[in-house]
A and B are shown apart, each in its own frame.
Chain A
Amino acid sequence: MTAATRGNDAAAARFAPPVRVAAMTSAEPSKETGLRFQISKLDFFYGSKQAVFDFTLKIPANKVTALIGPSGCGKSTFLRTLNRMNETVRNSRFVGEILLDGQDISQMDVVGLRRRVGMVFQRPNPFPKSIYENVAYGLKINGYRGRLRDLVEHSLRRAALWEEVKDYLHKSAFALSGGQQQRLCIARALAVDPEVLLLDEPCSALDPVTTAKIEELMFHLKDSCTMVIVTHNMQQAARASDFTAFMLDGRLIEHNETSKLFTTPADPRTEAYITGRFG
């Protein structure tokens, strides 16, 4: 950790306690199990084409779970099922059960679900608005009334971006570099204080230094957030995650603690993939 980010953390701590948006988090994690998501027997279809098969996975709270696997194996599809983003795709549907803190997500109000399960996309997608407006967006559309300014600052600090942008809050978000834009998108997702953050290859468009920043950021976010990250980068999965799930052709092949999966994979296909024999 660098001195600069330590400074950020101290400052973030100062801001942390009072600003949690109580009204926005409706449920506590199921304490007894320590699980955030429980997915059982999930099948996902685009029209008649099945993309995910019989997928069962438990995602522990306040941990980073990485999804790895070759392109087109259904990682992103699975990730986007968790906040029902796939609903925007015509004729898509899923069968099976996805529980968030014990509640079935298909029964939940989609707006409420997405408020609790934030998402960061592969390419930074800031809105064509100012930096401030980007972070405040989620709060505004959710009808949050209160000191927006403080929450914006708090979110930017959590995303380790505050020091870099504090003097330019009203400049266009497009003026930022790619890595800054991605952290802005993380800050934007964090502003509504989600319990879960889904990251869909968040670093694939970024350089190694920026990638390291985001991984460090994820490490600190674990205190308050459960994360699920899709990545093509095996080193990233090994460095940044606590649990890793390996997917192949729409099926979950293996799921284990990251240290175990990468050192002693149980399935020969997992071993072949992580040693670079295919994919």
Chain B
Amino acid sequence: MFPAAFDYRSPSTLDEALGVLAERGDDAKVMAGGQSLIPLLKLRFSQPQLILDIGRLPGLAEIKREDGHIRIGALVRHVDVERSAELAKHLPLMVEAVHWIADPLVRNRGTVVGSVCHADPSGDWGSIMLALNAELVAQSKSGERVIPIDGFFQGPFTTGLRPDEVATAIRIPLPTGPSGGSYHKLERKVGDFATVAVSVQLELDGRKVKKAGIGLTSVGATNLKAKQAEAGLAGRELTDDVIAEAARRAASFAEPKDDIRGTAAYKKDIVRVFVQRGLKAALARAQEVKA
């Protein structure tokens, strides 16, 4: 299968890339690893006039700590997350979750930021970033803009990025207390999209929850942040009742559809079960780890 014809630009500086977007952003699609975009081009679900390949831009392939955040550049691949000691130490949720994404060959090419910007409601990173309260760093000719992940997803494959902007990094706040996370994903086979997946991140203050993040995959028009469930956890001790109530809230907030992977009712119940399991796992890990 061939994609429809397109112009191709592969600039070697960010400035040049931003120039291209300023001029032709409306017709262009930015490509990093291409592991979601190229299949769509081949099936001709997407037919942009111009592909702007950012794969040769310098300085975007790093995972680094900066002022209370971990910054993940736009060319950091899934496999780089898999091998990152920094992330294993501070944000083990990401390292656990990455093994559930696509397959090892796709992980050698696909990028974290590309996946977030692709905004597939069945994508894994989106819900993980919602649980982690990440923020996108977007650049354009008019400067840099930081976009909170909450609100970034506007619909299936639609984000808050402007046509003249490119996301150059995602920033994740470092936990300031004992923390733990978990990712539960139900998939039929390796490489499949999630039937349902749930990401959970907890930060503790003594026995009580300081911050809770819950992101949901494949149960709505976008990845969802289960805010009502999160709010019910803040300041509380995680008793079985508190956990069960959060799980019920998340399940009722989810809006899955019937499809070949299962019925809506089944998926809602999986959300409930996964939130419950996820909170327990995250709590156990947070109690092991002293930040």
- Real complex partners, A and B? no
Chain A residues packing against B (C-beta within 8 Å): none
